[in-house]
Amino acid sequence: MPDPNMAAYDEFYGQHLPNLFRFVVGIAHENQYDESCIGSGVLVNLNGRHVVATAGHCIKRNPRIFYGETIMEEDKDGNPCFPHASRVRILKKDIHPTLDVGYLEIERPPEMEMTQDQLSFATPTGGAIHIIGHPSSRIEIDVTRREVIISRCNIATTVVEITDSYMKLDYPVDAVRYENSAFTKGHQFPDAPGLSGGGCFGVTKTQSAGLDLVEYKLLAIPYQWHPAQRWLKAVPIKHWFDHATKSL
């Protein structure tokens, strides 16, 4: 008998994940020790303004936006730099004063943006939450070609705790991976660094007049994880929205 969970994975990866990937960009930045880091962000259109919703710590120091499964090159001194074509021009940067969220206003989006009505302020009541970002553990380095390939990934999980200021998500060890047009079990989730600033998405499908209606909602922005206790925290998108609309 076919595994119903695998059927659900097949539908999500075939129909929905390619669309969700289009909303997510990568953000290169430095930490407080001047070390090169990778984060993520979500493209959002707010009243005609193009912004990248992200974690505040991903844009504090020298943020640079790249898009898709982009090749990151190194300069002559071995420092990461980006091909000119992958750059996205940043017009403004703003960070929430107390929560670890912020935004970059950009000149134009490189791909599809979420609209304001796709930002969900409702408390999740069930179903999977899909975290999409650029985990640093998935970076592939080609020393010979002096290239670094940075890939997005999706992690499906569930809520374990919700407060006004954060959403705590389960971060399991075991994962299902989609490779070579097939799903296989027995894999481990990638480490969470690099997922900060990405999107926590919900996907719903309802029927109306015999048609399937699919909705993609942005629920929260991840900013922290605990490797031993296996949880990830995210700021509910309402706090990001309130801050962004006041400061834009």
Any idea where the domains of the chain sit in the sequence? 4-247
Residue 138: per-residue pLDDT: 78
What pLDDT is stored for residue 176 in this prediction? 60
Q: Residue 7: its pLDDT value, please?
A: 54
Provide the pairing of β-strand 199-208 with 147-149.
Answer: unpaired
What local confidence, expressed as pLDDT, does residue 239 receive?
97
The answer to whether 196 touches 224, Cβ cutoff 8 Å, is yes
pLDDT given for residue 12 in this prediction: 72
CATH topology of domain 4-247: Thrombin, subunit H (2.40.10)
Q: In which residue ranges of the chain is pLDDT below 70?
A: 1-10, 13-14, 68-75, 79-86, 146, 174-190
Q: Do β-strands 174-179 and 182-188 pair in parallel, antiparallel, or remain unpaired?
A: antiparallel
Q: Please report the pLDDT score of residue 4 as a whole number.
A: 41
Supply the pTM of this predicted model: 0.87
Q: Residue 226 pairs with which residues in a beta bridge?
A: 231
- Residue 2: the pLDDT is 37
User: Rounded to a whole number, what is the largest CA-CA distance in the chain?
Assistant: 61
